[in-house]
Amino acid sequence: MNQRPNLPDPHPQRAELYELLEAFCRGDQSPEEHARMEQLVAGDEVLRREYVQYLHMHVCLRRAFEGADEAEQFERVPAEDRRNEAAALTPATVPLRMPAQSPWQRTGSMLACAAAAVLVALFVFNPFAGNKPAPLANVGQPPKKDSVKAAPPATLTRVLGCVWDGPNPLQRGALLTAGRYMLSAGIAEITFASGAVVLAEAPVELEVVDAARGFVHSGRVVARVPPRAIGFVIETRQANLVDLGTEFGVGVGNDGDTLVQVFDGLVVAEGKHGAAKESGQHRLVAGETLSFATDQAKPRSLESSPHRFVRRFPDPKQRGKDELVPHNVARFDTMHIVPAPRRDNAEPNTPAIKIDGDLSDWDLSGMFLSRCVEPYGENYYAAGAMMYDENYLYIAAHVGDPAPMASVIDPETDSEVGWKGGSIQVRISTNPALGWPLESECVYPGPHGRRPVDVHDQLVHLTMWHFAPKNQPCLNVAYGMNYHGKHTNPAGAIGTFRKDDDGLGYVMEYAIPWSELNAKARPLQAGDVTASCWNVHWSDEGGRVWQGYLIDVINPAAKGFTYQKAATWARTILHRQGQLRPGTVKPISP
Amino acid sequence: MSSTQLARYEPSTGWTERCGIDGDHESEQAACEKDRSLRFVRLFARHEHQIYAYIVSVMSNWTDADEVMQETSVALWEMFDDFQEGTSFRHWACRIAYFRVLRFRQKRGRDRHEFDHQFVEAVAEAAIEEADSFESRRMALADCLTRLRREDRELLESCYTGGDQIKHVAERLDRPAKSVYKALGRIRQALFECVRRKVAVEERGR
C-alpha cells in the first residue's frame, strides 16, 4: 500500500479551532476563547467553512436527540389523531407529534412538528379568517381590485445605507406597491407617480397610499412637490397636509403627534379630530411650523428650527461592508498652500493671523470644498484651507456637522482615538525631498519590511478636535506611518473652534509651529511640492460614537487607506503668491 | 360566482398571482389557507436545520440563537406569501434570518462577547455557500452515527437528550465531568471526519 507523504497540514490551526468549537458547543467558552475563535474564523476561508460545517453537525445532533422525549409521548397519541397533522392544525390542537422511528427519521418529523408548533402558536392569535399578517416590508393592504396590475404608485429612486424591516432589501429603482414600508436605518428617496418626491429618514414608517398620497405613521420625511404634483397629500393620524408646490418636512411621533414645517412655498394643513379639525384649514408659508397634538386641541404654531429635518448619516454598522467607505467621492487631487497674509499689528514670531475662529483675515483662495454624497451633502461637508509662513503652518476648515464640537474624547486619556468624536485630520510630509507620491507605508509585514521612509519623522499626522466637556481645542501629533512620537496639545500650537450660528457646523483654525512638524530647520517654503491629505470625521450627538467620514485631497492613482499608505496623499504645492486665480483649485476631471 | 385572483407586486419578480381569494367564499379561503399551511410545514421541516445552523454560526451563544430562530420561524410564517414557488426556500429563509440577526444585534447592542459585523458578514456568506451541502452532510451524519461504538452513541445521546448539562450527565454516569467533555469532543470530531470523508467520496462520484 502506498504511504501518503507526510505533508504539513496547510491549516495548522484546525485542531485549535475544533477545541474552541467544542467549548462553544458546550456553552462554556471564555471571552478570550471567543475572541480567538472569531480571529481564526475571520482570517481563513477554509476554517470558516469548517466552522459552519461543525456547527451544522452540532445542530443536527441536537435535533436528532432532543426529540427522543417527544417521541415517547407520541406513542401515546391515538393513531386517529396522527392523520393529517398539518391539515388538522387549529388553535385547539397543540401537541407536538413524533412518530417513533430512527433518530434521523424522527428528526425530520420533529422538524415538521416544530413548524407545526409555529403554525399552531400563530393560529391561536391569528386564525384563518382574515387579519393575516402581511410582510413587514409592505404590510399595507393588498392592491384594490380595480388597481390590480395598474402601475405601482411609487418608485424607490435613491437608497443610502438603508435597512428595511422586511425580507427583501429594496434596491434603488424598486417599484413600490401600495402599503407600509418600514425603514430602520438610512435614508430613502421615494418618487410618487404624481412627481412628488419624499425623502424618508430612518426610523420611519411610511405608507404609500396612491400616486398622490402618502401616510406617515411615524418618523420624519421631507416632501418636495414640483408644480405638476400640486395637490400631493401627506396624511398622518392627526392631520392632512396638502402641498401646493413646495418643500416641507413632516415629523410624526409614535403617538401620532404631528409637526409640519414649511421650507418653501405653501402648504394647507387641516386637523382630523376635535378642536384641531374645527379650527379649519391653516395655510402655512415658508418658515412656519404647526404642531397637531393627540389631545385634539387646536394646532399650535412653533418656531421653525433648522435642526428638525437634518439628514443624518446612518449608523455605520448598518452600512455593513461599506462601514469604512467614506461618505464622499474625493474631488481634489491637489492641495494648494498659500502664504499667510501678515496682519499689521502681529508681533514677531507670532501667528500672522488672529486665531479666533473668524477666517476673514485668511487668504482662502486655495480652499477646497468637499461634500458628502446626497442627500447628506447639505449637512455634511468640509471646506479646508492651508497657509504658511516662516514660523507656522496654518490649517482652517469650515465643517458642516449636525452635531458640531460635541466630542467627549478626552485628550488626557484617549487622544489616540481623538478622531472618533468628530474631528479633522490632516496628514502632511514636511520634507519635500521625500517627493510625491510618497512610498511610505504602514509598517505591516510586507514585501519591503520596515524601511526608513515608512517611519520618517517628517510624515506628520495631525488630528484636531474640540473636547466639549472642557471647551478645549485639541491637537494630537504623530509621526511616520507607524505613528510614533504621539503627543497631544503641544506647547506652541494655537487653535480654536467656533460653532456656526445655526448650530449645524463649526469653524476650526490652527497655527502649528514648524518645530512640531519636525521642520524647524527648514520649513516648507514657496516652490516646494510635497504630499498631504484630509480626513474629516463625524460623530453622534453625544460626541462619542463615530458615524462616518470623508476623505479628500488624495492621489487618485493610488489605492488604499490614507492612514496606511502615504502614496494616497495628494500633490501639495506651496505657492509663492497668494490670492490664487479663480480656477486654480479645481476638481479632478471625471 | 367568479373568484378574483389577487395580485401582488414584488420589485424583484414583478406581478404574481396569489391563491384564489374571494371575500364571499369562506370555504375557498379556508382551503387556500390549508394549502398554504401544508406547503409551509413541508418546506420548513425540510430546511429547518439549515436555517438554524445558519443562525447559530453568526450568533455568539445558543440562547440568542434560539431566540433569533424563534423570531425567524414566526417571520417566515408571516411572510410566507412573499415566497415565490420554484425559488429556493432556504435562500429566502436565510435572508429573513439574516435580517432577524441584524435586528437582534441592533436591539441588544454590541458587547464584547458578540461577533463583530465583518465576522457576521463573512460567516453568513460562508454559511449560505455551505448550506448547499447541508442536506448531504446530514444524511452522511446519519450513516456515521450508525457506525459509532454503542457506548459512544449512548454517551452522545445522554449528552444531547433532554437538555441536561453535561456535568449532570457525568454525575449520572459516575464519571468526572472532564472525561465526559473529552469523550464528547472526541466523538464529535470523529463524526465530523466521517462526514467529511463521506461527502468527499460522494462528490468524487458525481
Please state the ipTM of this predicted complex: 0.82
Contacts of B111 (CB under 8 A, 6+ apart): none
Q: CB–CB of B123 and A41 under 8 A?
A: yes
Of B10, B11, B41, nearest to A115 by CB-CB distance is B41
Spatial CA neighbour of A401 closest among A371, A379, A374, A378:
A379
- A537: nearest Cα among A443, A426, A437: A426
Give the pLDDT of residue B205.
Answer: 54
Q: Which of residues 62-91 of B touch A (CB under 8 A)?
A: 62, 73-79, 81-82
Mean pLDDT over the full length of chain B: 75
CB contact under 8 A, A60 and B96: no
pLDDT category of residue A141 using cuts at 50, 70 and 90: very low
Would the CB atoms of B49 and A56 count as touching at under 8 Å? yes
**For residue A329, what are the contacts with CB-CB under 8 A and spacing of at least 6?**
A373
Per DSSP, the three-state class of A473 is: strand
Question: Do A253 and A238 contact (CB within 8 A), yes or no?
Answer: no
Q: Measuring CA to CA, which residue among A205, A220, A276, A279 is closest to residue A250?
A: A220
**Per-residue pLDDT averaged across A473-479, rounded?**
97
- Kindly state the percentage of chain A with pLDDT values over 90: 38
What is the identity of the amino acid at A257?
Answer: D
Predicted TM-score (pTM) of the model is 0.48
Q: Is residue A125 classed exposed, middle or buried when 0-12, 13-18 and 19+ CB atoms within 10 A define those classes?
A: exposed
- The predicted structure's pLDDT at residue A566: 95
Amino acid in position A16:
E
Q: Where does CATH 2.60.120.1440 sit in chain A? A: 138-302
- Burial category of A466 from C-beta neighbours within 10 Å (exposed 0-12, middle 13-18, buried 19 and up): buried
Q: How far apart are CA B135 and CA A376, in angstroms?
A: 46
User: What value does the mean pLDDT take over residues A474-481?
Assistant: 95
pLDDT computed for residue A316 by the predictor? 74
Q: In this complex, do B192 and A136 lie within 8 Å of one another by their Cβ atoms?
A: no
CB A528 within 8 A of CB A574: yes
When scoring A24, A47, A52 by the number of chain B Cβ atoms within 10 A, the one with the most, hence best to mutate, is: A52
Q: Which three cell numbers stand for residue B186?
A: 472526541
For the segment(s) A138-302, the CATH number from 3.40.50.300, 3.40.50.2300, 2.60.120.1440, 3.30.70.260 is: 2.60.120.1440
Indicate if the pLDDT at residue B155 is higher than 50. Answer: yes
pLDDT of residue A187: 80
Q: Count of CB atoms within 10 A of residue A265's CB?
A: 18
- A261: amino acid identity, one letter: Q
Taking residue A300's Cβ as centre, other Cβ atoms within 10 Å add up to: 12
> How confident is the model over A239-288, as pLDDT tens digits?
999 888 778 899 988 778 899 998 888 888 999 888 888 888 898 888 88
Cα A444 to Cα A72, A441, A454: the distances in Å are 60, 8, 10
Instruction: State the pLDDT at residue A126.
Output: 29
CA distance to partner chain A, nearest, from residue B45 (Å): 4
Report the DSSP beta bridge partners of residue A360: none
Query: How far is residue B87's CA from residue A58's CA, in Å, rounded to a whole number?
Result: 27
> If contacts are CB pairs under 8 Å, which of residues 78-117 in chain A contact chain B?
86-87, 89, 102-104, 107-109, 111-112, 114-116
Q: Which residues contact A92 (CB under 8 A, 6 or more apart)?
A: none
For residue A512, report the phi and psi dihedrals to the nearest 5 degrees.
-120, 120
Q: For residue B131, is pLDDT > 70?
A: yes
**How far is residue B37's CA from residue A150's CA, in Å, rounded to a whole number?**
30
Q: What sign does the CA torsion over B34, B38, B40, B44 have?
A: positive
Where do the structural domains in chain B lie, given as residue ranges? 147-206
Whole-angstrom Cα Rg for chain A: 31
Chain B interface disruption, residue of A34, A39, A60, A105, most B CBs within 10 A:
A60
Task: Tell me the C-alpha distance between A20 and A26, whole Å.
Answer: 10
Residue type, position B80, single letter: F
Pick the closest to residue A231 from A265, A189, A279 (CA basis). A265
- Predicted pLDDT at A307: 61
Question: pLDDT tens across A116-132, in order?
Answer: 444 433 333 222 222 22
* Of A190, A143, A193, nearest in space to A164 by CA: A190
Please check whether residue A167 is in contact with residue B87, taking contact to mean a CB–CB distance below 8 angstroms. Answer: no
CA B93 to chain centre: 9
Type of residue numbered B148: L
Report in angstroms the alpha-carbon separations of A74 from A71, A92, A99, A106.
5, 17, 6, 11
d(CA B147, CA B137): 15
Question: CA A15, CA A46: separation in Å to the nearest integer?
Answer: 13
Cis peptide before A10 (omega within 30 of 0): no
Q: How far is B30 from A47, CA to CA, in rounded Å?
A: 49
Q: Return residues 124-163 of B near A (CB < 8 Å).
A: 126-127, 129-130, 133-134, 137-138, 141-142, 145, 156-157, 160-163
Q: Cβ B157–A68 below 8 Å, yes or no? A: yes
Q: How far apart are the C-alpha atoms of A259 and A244, rounded to whole Å?
A: 17
B158-205 pLDDT, tens digit each: 888 755 577 777 887 888 888 888 899 999 999 999 998 888 877 665
- Look at A11 and A36; give whichever has higher pLDDT: A36
What is the mean predicted confidence (pLDDT) over A192-206? 88
Residue A459 is placed in which grid cell?
510624515
**Residue A82 in this model has a pLDDT that exceeds 80:** no
Q: Are A151 and A114 in contact (CB under 8 A)?
A: no
Residues of A (170-229) whose Cβ lies below 8 Å from B? 170-171, 173-177, 184
Most confident segment among A67-71, A208-212, A329-333, A424-428: A424-428
**CB pairs below 8 Å between A and B: how many?**
225
- Write the DSSP symbol of residue A347: P
> Is the pLDDT reported for residue A109 higher than 50?
no
Burial classification of residue B95, based on how many CB atoms lie within 10 Å of its CB (0-12 exposed, 13-18 middle, 19 or more buried): middle
Strands, DSSP E only, in A193-328? Answer: 197-210, 213-224, 233-235, 239-243, 247-252, 258-264, 266-271, 281-285, 289-292, 300-302
Could you tell me the pLDDT band of residue B110, with boundaries at 50, 70 and 90? low
- Chain A residues with CB-CB distance to B50 below 8 A: 56
Cell of A350: 507670532
* Nearest CA-CA partner of A322 in A185, A192, A421, A196: A185
Evaluate if residue A463 carries a pLDDT over 90.
yes
In a 3-state reduction of DSSP, which class is residue B146?
helix
Residue A80's pLDDT band, with cuts at 50, 70 and 90, is very low
Q: Which CATH number fits domain A328-574: 3.40.50.720, 2.10.70.10, 2.60.40.1190, 3.30.365.10?
A: 2.60.40.1190
Closest B-chain CA to A140: B8
| B77 interaction partners in chain A (CB closer than 8 Å) | 118-119, 122
CA B11 distance to own-chain centroid:
27
Query: B160 contacts in A (CB within 8 Å)?
Result: 61-62, 64-66
Residue A431 reports pLDDT greater than 90: yes
pLDDT at A490: 96
Neighbouring residues of B182: CB distance < 8 A, sequence distance ≥ 6 = none
CA distance A128 to chain B (A): 7
| Class of the CATH-defined domain B147-206 | mainly alpha
Amino acid A128: pLDDT: 24
Q: Which of A18, A47, A65 to mutate to test the interface with B (most CBs of B within 10 A)?
A: A65
CA distance B96 to chain A (A): 5
pLDDT: which is higher, B17 or A150: A150
Q: Please measure the distance between the N-terminal and C-terminal CA atoms of chain A and give it in whole angstroms.
A: 66
Q: How far is CA A379 from CA A312, A313, A372, A402, in A?
A: 8, 10, 8, 7
pLDDT per residue as tens digits for the range A379-423: 899 999 999 999 999 999 999 998 899 999 999 988 888 999 999
Task: Pick the range with the lowest mean pLDDT from A74-88, A301-315, A450-464, A491-505.
Answer: A74-88
User: What ranges in A67-170 are assigned the alpha helix state H?
Assistant: 68-74, 79-82, 103-125
CB of A325 within 8 Å of a chain B CB? The answer is no
